[in-house]
Chain A
């Protein structure tokens, strides 16, 4: 695995609570991404970052926010978790352009 860790790896939370997922990289790649993976939908981009403090929305950004204060860390926050946000969340990194995206091991989130 290309120097990407995600924490926590598993989380159970209740509807309405805030949740923050962390992605940490040791590759010094410029681009970082958050995806969610759901059966029948493949992987869908939530938000991505193209540099420190530079972020943009993806396909399914509603209900999510992100922050990147350091090159190596990209945080995904669910301000008020809902059951529809139960999913597996993957972080990925890339050098950009047509560069390969390298994925982390994923975080399995269950919202009750």
Chain B
């Protein structure tokens, strides 16, 4: 059972545009929501994360928006650059053992 649903599966955005990736979760016990970025041939790396007590977190060009009542959160990449081309995974966990449940991933391509 997919506990974290991610969309779209792939995304093509022009340079300078806004990339938006959405995730929805089912388990209300989740209390930490990170986003990971993965380049081809590499392991995923933490990009940005949010806790459910805030509705938005911004780090540079990357913003997480969180809607607790709808059980949804999204990643916005402003002024998208070709170097942002990668696969992005949303995830969720409940702390303690820090076990992460991942979404299925979004392959982002930023074109010139």
What are 20 A-B residue pairs whose CB atoms fall within 8 Å in the complex? Answer: A4-B43, A31-B98, A40-B104, A41-B104, A42-B104, A42-B105, A44-B102, A45-B101, A48-B99, A90-B43, A96-B97, A98-B51, A98-B93, A98-B98, A100-B34, A100-B46, A103-B44, A103-B45, A104-B43, A106-B43
Give the complex CA separation of A28 and B32 in angstroms. Answer: 23
Interface bits A43-82 vs B (CB < 8 Å: 1, else 0): 1110010100000101100000000000000000000000
Is chain B's binding surface mostly helix, strand, loop or mixed?
Answer: loop
Instruction: Specify which chain B residues have a CB less than 8 angstroms from the CB of A103 in the assembled complex.
Output: 43-45
Range class of the B interface residue count:
20 to 34
Q: In B74-112, which residues have CB < 8 Å from any A CB?
A: 89, 93, 95-105
Residue of B nearest to A40 (CB): B104
Structural contact, A105 and B42, CB atoms closer than 8 A = yes
Taking A56-B97, A97-B96, A98-B31 as given, write out 6 further A-B residue pairs in contact, using a Cβ cutoff of 8 Å, ordered by the A residue number: A33-B99, A40-B104, A41-B104, A43-B100, A98-B98, A100-B34
- Kindly state whether residue B19 has any CB partner on chain A within 8 Å: no
Given A42-B89, A42-B104, also A94-B98 (CB < 8 A): yes
